[in-house]
Chains A and B, each alone.
Chain A
Amino acid sequence: MSTTTMAKALNDGLRAAMERDPKVLIMGEDVGRLGGVFRITDGLQKDFGEQRVLDTPLSESGIIGAAIGLAVRGFRPVCEIQFDGFVFPGFDQIVSQLAKLRYRTQGAVPVPVVVRIPFGGGIGAVEHHSESPESLFAHVAGLKVVACATPADAHWMIQQAIACDDPVIFFEPKRRYWEKGTVDPDLGAAPPLHSARVVRPGSTLTIATYGPMVKTCLEAATAAAEDGQDLEVIDLRTLSPLDLGPVAESVRRTGRLVVVSEAPSESSITSEVAARIQQECFFSLEAPVLRVTGFDTPYPPSRLEDDYLPDLDRVLDAVDRSLAW
């Protein structure tokens, strides 16, 4: 058991995957000599060479499109997109080719590509650097979409994603990169990639969330405990396919659900969780499923992001509204 940052946990995970399988490549803008804009790939090019850690042309469609070709050739590319809002030039390749080649060829042409995307706000960045586009990818059949929230998950989930024969869109909460946590060196202790996890058991109300909001929701649960409320917090971890089993099981006990994400609310992961839980747990619910999300606006100028991003108070407000029902 070691204590480390999420950035280092990801770096170690990538290194372990590269050591395990010589077909694993890392590719993206600045991932080599610089080590990535967030230094997630720091030192990897030095140790694995320019042919396994590729500083690519500035070309997102190129990164994804070439990764697909490399995967067809038998490689397992891990692509880095520098920021969430920059993935859209590569969106066509992701949606049109990456997601569909396996289906189109009935399994004959698998494309085990991982696309790493640092996502979400809270770092005071300029436009296009703070978005949460995960719902756009979760809507596309053929892709698997996951989001890590802790160093331990970051470490193991990236290795599990690379080992997965499906294309995986891997969201990393960039404002949590430098927060520390413990990492168990035993893979057997890590949950499977596509599984939700109860990160704080409770009995009063269920909060389902993922990525950067897991920490916020845990803080809200700690604050609520001082008022005698025992909140259960579930980290979804996998956004497509959603692992709703633990959420449904929890809601059947608590009767109440608040879903939290910093992405806009319309047609989102939170919409999906809310819709399916009301369908599966209708007779268990004591209150409507409530959501706490970013607003249905473009991400605002950074001086306004404290208003845009759900915080502890907005989560607790929703908890109070649910309990008051």
Chain B
Amino acid sequence: MEEPQAWVPGDPRSRPSRDQVVAGLKGVDEGGVELVQLLTPEGERVHHEHFDRYTADVTLDDLKSLYRDLVLVRRADREGNSLQRHGELGIWVPLLGQEAAQVGSGRALRPSDMCFPSYREHGVAWTRGVDPTELLGIFRGTDHGSWDFAARRFHPYTIVIGNQCLNAAGYAMGQRFESKVGDRETGEATICYFGDGATSQGDVHEGFVWAAAYDAPLVFFCQNNQWAISVPLERQTRVPLYQRARGYGFPGVRVDGNDVLACLAVTRWALDECRTGNGPVLIEAFTYRMDSHTTSDDATRYRLADEVELWKLKDPIERVRVHLARRHGVEQEFFEAVDAEANELGERLRAFCRAMPQPGPERMFSEVYADASPQVDAQRAEYLAYHASFAGEEEQA
């Protein structure tokens, strides 16, 4: 290993070594001293001077409900992965390992809050009441999302990296313009999800600038899962991501993204800040993508098995299970019941997916415009007539 060089921050004559950069970014294995954690990987409840109060009302039933969410979200995710492997889906975007970040933050939202997801937020979708079957069309290729966007206040998935940060900033500006900010009880807020890779995109930077310039009630929720497909975090940034918020003039917090309780607490705090007019806020959920970026990716080409093994020890579900069993004496029957429910969900997803109808060709031409378009209308009429000219041929064949 090369000797660490003398590095003076801000001095252009010196540069940090790669190891220094990595050490600075990853801190320690647990995410650094400023990591907010309420539940250790061993299932021990630890106390935090500031954030404990945001889980003061969490009952044992709530904890069990969070555990159920984590398990069902993971089961839906694994089913999606399997369906892709069986050729039922064109692609799947796994969230394995990120369940706590998504369920914890999602459960902090109120129905009146708005949510702008990226494309991996199946767990957040779950907390917004979006049934996992409603996600399948995107990956099977029958639609681009079919949930009730307005009722769920869960925006369509955004696939271009970082675009949604500006869309969310605009929406949150609208909440402020409509005077929905200022009261802890009635105030509204918006949350926007993106990954560590997205932080290199201009739109994320601009989203930070806009949200700050207009005091928008917007929580930027960055799931730092350490990898942007094959490119590691140290290729995105020289400082821990949560520290970037300071440069934009709003607070940034790093939370243990594998700790559902901490994610719940920190997001509740951040949303409160926004509701009362102290937004925006950046949350960096320090977590890990346990599977590949998508089913088209092969993570074994670029990362070490040891790294994955290390993160398995910090599994977001296991620590809640241990905590429930050891600290609260929850019986095995509960866990078995949740597992049974998960299996039912898997079966339901599988059956639903296989029964999804092929969209008709008219779908291609619908809702391109609100007003008529002579060009599209003519193409629709021509193609549907052409398509209809084959009617009956299949039966003959």
Taking Cβ atoms with an 8 Å cutoff, the residues of A that contact B are 51, 56-57, 59, 61-62, 64-75, 77, 89, 92-93, 96-97, 101-110, 141-142, 144, 164-166, 194, 241-243
Contact = CB atoms under 8 A, between A and B. Distances in A.
Contacts of A104: 144-145, 156
Given A69-B116, A69-B166, 9 more contacts: A59-B206, A59-B209, A59-B210, A71-B170, A73-B171, A105-B149, A142-B368, A142-B369, A242-B375
Contacts of A68: 166-167, 170
B172 A69 contact: yes
B247 to A, nearest CB: 15
Contact of B169 (A65, A71, A92, A96): A65
Interface centre among B143, B166, B169 (most CB of A within 10 A): B166
Interface stretch (B34-42, B173-181, B284-292, B381-389): B173-181
Interface in B149-176: 149-150, 155-156, 158, 160, 163, 165-175
B370 A72 contact: no
Interface in B336-376: 366-371, 373-376
A73 B158 contact: no
A59 B206 CA distance: 7
Contacts of B210: 56-57, 59, 62, 65-66
B203 A66 contact: no
Given A72-B167, A102-B370, A106-B143, A93 B173 contact: no
A66 B370 contact: no
Contacts, number: 133
Given A62-B210, A109-B149, A69 B173 contact: yes
A66 B169 contact: yes
Contact of B369 (A57, A106, A144): A144
Nearest to A194: B371
24 contacts: A56-B213, A61-B166, A65-B165, A65-B203, A65-B206, A66-B210, A67-B170, A69-B166, A69-B169, A69-B172, A69-B173, A70-B171, A71-B170, A72-B155, A89-B202, A92-B160, A102-B367, A105-B149, A105-B367, A106-B366, A141-B376, A142-B369, A144-B369, A165-B371
Given A65-B207, A73-B174, A93 B163 contact: yes
A102 B149 contact: no
Interface of B: 116, 143-145, 148-150, 155-156, 158, 160, 163, 165-175, 177-178, 202-203, 206-207, 209-210, 213, 366-371, 373-376
A208 to B, nearest CB: 16
Contacts of B376: 141, 241
Contacts of B145: 104-105
A56 B166 CA distance: 13
Given A69-B174, A75-B174, A108 B368 contact: no
The 4 closest A-B pairs by CB, nearest first: A69-B170, A65-B166, A73-B174, A66-B170
Given A73-B175, A102-B368, A109-B156, A93 B203 contact: yes
Contacts of A74: 174
Given A72-B155, A104-B144, A105-B144, A65 B368 contact: no
Contacts of A101: 156
A73 B165 CA distance: 15
A61 B206 contact: yes
A294 B177 CA distance: 44
B371 A166 contact: yes
A290 to B, nearest CB: 24
A106 B213 CA distance: 33
A96 B370 contact: no
Contacts of A77: 170
Interface centre among A77, A97, A242 (most CB of B within 10 A): A97
A96 to B, nearest CB: 4
Contacts of B166: 61-62, 64-66, 68-69, 93
Contacts of A194: 371
A250 B209 CA distance: 52
A69 B171 contact: yes
